[in-house]
Amino acid sequence: MKLGFSAADEAFRQECADWLNAEMAGEFRDIKGITKLTASPERRKEWEQRLGEAKWGCIGWPVEWGGRNATLAQQVIFAEEYARAGVPGRVNHIGVELAGPTLLAFGTEEQKQRFLPGIAAGKTIFCQGFSEPGAGSDLASVRTKGRLENGEWVVNGQKIWTSLAHISDWIFVVTRTEEGSKGPKGLTFLMMEIDQPGIEIRGIKQINGDAEFNETFFTDARCPADSLIGAVGDGWKIAMGLLAFERGVSTLGQQMAFRNELDELIAAAKANGAANNPLIRQRLAKAEIGLRLMRYGALRMLSNTDHSKIDGAALTYKIQWATWRRNLGELAMDVLGQAGEVAEGSEYEWDTLPNLFLYSRADTIYGGTNQIQRNLIAERGLGLPREPRGDV
């Protein structure tokens, strides 16, 4: 068991920090410190391309696909330095962290050729078309239909809550391709180009006033026959494989963003005197401890190579960070007081901490709600009986 990084790793950390800091002080200084997901999309797409050019876009990928074959420690370090330097979150998070690894694991050689270079270069932005109005937690009940017709898939139906669809180039879609099938059977995983007449995107305004997610309508939308990952009917398997990548190294970068939020909160508490309140001090300490434990939980999960046993750190990770952040948002409002409930200016737009309070209500919903996480933990982690399915 070893926590410290090697001298070579520390040198790598310096290299990452130097490059990122230089970029954030130079050509891309206008996007430094952006935390809102929808802000400056065009500039952030340019940033994706800059990362791609410099081969910092997908460092964990194999060299042949535009990566650096970086070790785990290096990926951890890059993710940490990325957030530390105040670089905004990746607009192509879904492409880099989900679509790419899924293609690497399940795609054909030809599909890798088709998609990976674009993702690595920051030019192919992906979004995720899983949820539907009638299929949220119960993803297996998706109804969007896909059928093969004249060498093309033709897709009809609706997805919802599709984050960043309005700035994406591609969407991966779980479709029901076997007429009359139910549940996880008969689903197929398709990659579709968004810019086509059959796909329409409408923004949905969220509780913080922002509109990160969308409704995505498919009306005879099309993609070539070879747009499926895996085989016809493998959609569930691929979708589940993809979701497993969600717990990858990117979580460490996310934590460094949380670090920035907590630091801002600590500074606010000192500035307005809340830090003298013993109850607030206790909660700040708990938040600090929770964040550190998140880091070491993630390092345990990433260091683990024995996949024969259930990895408790991995299984509990999502609900842990989501709940931590939601609590941080509530603490932020207790620290700010009513000053946190008013915004400067006439726009319904919030600074980091009030926005954290509002946005963090989504953290415990997307990517599997806290209730669904508890079901998974109880069933997979503790071997308790599965939830019964109804037939309504």
Ligand X SMILES: Cc1cc2nc3c(=O)[nH]c(=O)nc-3n(C[C@H](O)[C@H](O)[C@H](O)COP(=O)(O)OP(=O)(O)OC[C@H]3O[C@@H](n4cnc5c(N)ncnc54)[C@H](O)[C@@H]3O)c2cc1C
- Residues with catalytic annotation? 246
Report residue 236 as tokens: 């569930």
- Which residue from 173, 319, 335, 353 is in contact with another protein, where contact means CB under 8 A? 319
Using CA atoms, how far apart are residues 362 and 357, in angstroms rounded to an integer? 10
Stretch that binds ligand X, among 112-120, 140-148, 184-192, 369-377 (CB under 6 A): 369-377
7 binds another protein (CB under 8 A): no
Which of these, 159, 171, 167, 170, lies nearest to 128 by C-alpha position?
Answer: 171
Using CA atoms, how far apart are residues 159 and 156, in angstroms rounded to an integer? 10
Nearer to ligand X, 117 or 136 (CB): 136
Nearer to ligand X, 278 or 383 (CB): 383
Report residue 377 as tokens: 């933990």
Using CA atoms, how far apart are residues 293 and 99, in angstroms rounded to an integer? 29
DSSP 85: T
269 binds another protein (CB under 8 A): yes
Nearer to another protein, 237 or 300 (CB): 300
Shortest Cβ distance from residue 112 to ligand X (Å)?
A: 23
Report residue 316 as tokens: 């509990």
User: What distances in angstroms separate CA 60 from CA 55, 67, 81, 287, one per listed residue?
Assistant: 10, 6, 15, 30
Shortest Cβ distance from residue 361 to another protein (Å)?
A: 19
The torsion angle over the Cα atoms of residues 384, 386, 387 and 391, rounded to 10 degrees, is: -160
131 binds ligand X (CB under 6 A): yes
Stretch that binds ligand X, among 46-54, 155-163, 248-256, 271-279 (CB under 6 A): 155-163
The alpha carbon dihedral of 72, 74, 78, 81 has a sign of: positive
Nearer to another protein, 16 or 160 (CB): 16
Q: Site mask, ligand X, residues 201-240, x = CB under 6 A?
A: ------------x---------------------------
Q: What residues line the site for ligand X (CB under 6 A)?
A: 127-131, 136-137, 161-163, 213, 362, 365-366, 369, 371-372, 375, 387
